[in-house]
Structure 1
Amino acid sequence: MATVTLKGNEIHTLGNLPENGSQAPSFTLVKTDLSSASLSDYKGKKVVLNIFPSIDTGTCAQSVRQFNQEAAELKNTAILCISKDLPFAQARFCGAEGIDKVETLSDFRDGSFGKSYHVEFTDGPLQGLLSRSVVVVNENGEVIYSEQVSETADEPNYKAALEALMDA
């Protein structure tokens, strides 16, 4: 179990993120067109997993905007914005915001992503949603950077995640 906070109050997740150097756990998530996407679909690319509770909160929305802006500069990189929001909400948000360089994916069907990456909240007001985290995976499927944001209301360290991409 990992401990983070939400506005200073402790809440817990299933555990710790995958360690650097380990193989990223496989997953199957739902795209906005309701088809499936798996980690294996991105084989040979660098992958940023931008994980968050809900696209309909200010900090989560900002992380999607920020990664969308940064993605324009990245070669051979997929940025996946992952939450348990319904794909319809994700598509609505991206359409309204003009976001087109990241891909939103949903863990709403079975919650297996949150469990395998240990980011599912186990208690508190966000129980069942995903903890704000970033995991960067290299072309070989190895984790090269991870951050579970200690205060859920804060944004992730974009600079550190992007530097990990550049160093890979």
Structure 2
Amino acid sequence: MKAISLAKLALVGAVVGGSCAIAAVPAHADGWNWTAVALSQASGFVNAVADRSSADDASGAAVAACNQRIPAPTGSFGAPHDCATVLAFASGKCGAVSVGKQDPSAAESYANDEAGVPRSSKNVYTWSLGNNLTEADIDAVVKNPGRDVKILWSDCQS
């Protein structure tokens, strides 16, 4: 990993439910590789693209590959192509995506949503960045408010 000074760091963003996390990277990240992770919350598909020259390139490729995995709708039915970038990080960082079952209140345990899907089967997704895989995994699991939480995807960018 390249040594960088704090003066050269540009903190671009952080995750808190529903937005994308982008790791702190040098302002001029020439020679750094990027990983981006796209998630479809409707279908549960996760797609990661690594070793790209920029966050934008990695993000665009991850979203496109994720959307290609979702089958085309038949008639008026079919999962939406809702893939969005949830993580983008550069060399030396790791990321993780976790999934857990939504824990509905007792009053709505047996109710269905407007699409007829039982509320108790809905998934909750969270994601996190870390300096190593263990840190990213643990943080993604701890942030997830669902039940039976597990890691759906995790990796590091070298």
The normalised TM-score by structure 2 is 0.30
- Which of the two has higher C-alpha Rg? 2
Higher RCO structure (Cα 8 Å, ≥6 apart): 1
TM-score w.r.t. structure 1 length? 0.29
More strand by share: 2
Higher helix share: 1
